[in-house]
Amino acid sequence: MKAAEVKKLRDDEIKAEAARLRKRLFELRAQTVTEKTKDSSQFRKTRKDLARVLTERSARMKKATK
């Protein structure tokens, strides 16, 4: 997910996306414990997507408080 795509999301969609990405990270970690992961680069991609979403949420919260 690109930063431009994240900026187009509504506030409730950002919250849902963050929850989805956290769940995906949990599933990836569980998968590495129980079985071999097919694509280990998914960890990095998911973490970066989560960071983009949280950064946008934080920026919107700062903008709203001003």
Encode pLDDT of 3-26 as tens digits.
Answer: 899 999 999 999 999 999 999 999
26-38: per-residue pLDDT in tens?
A: 999 999 888 887 8
Structural domain including 45 reads 3-65
CA distance 59 to 56: 5
Structure tokens at 7: 């900026």
CATH number of the domain that residue 45 is part of: 1.10.287
Q: Whole-model pTM?
A: 0.88
Is residue 53 within 8 Å of residue 17, measured between CB atoms?
yes
Buried b (16+ CB within 10 A) or exposed e, 1-36: eeeeebeebeeeebeebbeebeebbeebeeeeeeee
Say which residues have a Cβ less than 8 Å from residue 9's Cβ, sequence separation at least 6.
17, 56
Domains: count for the chain: 1
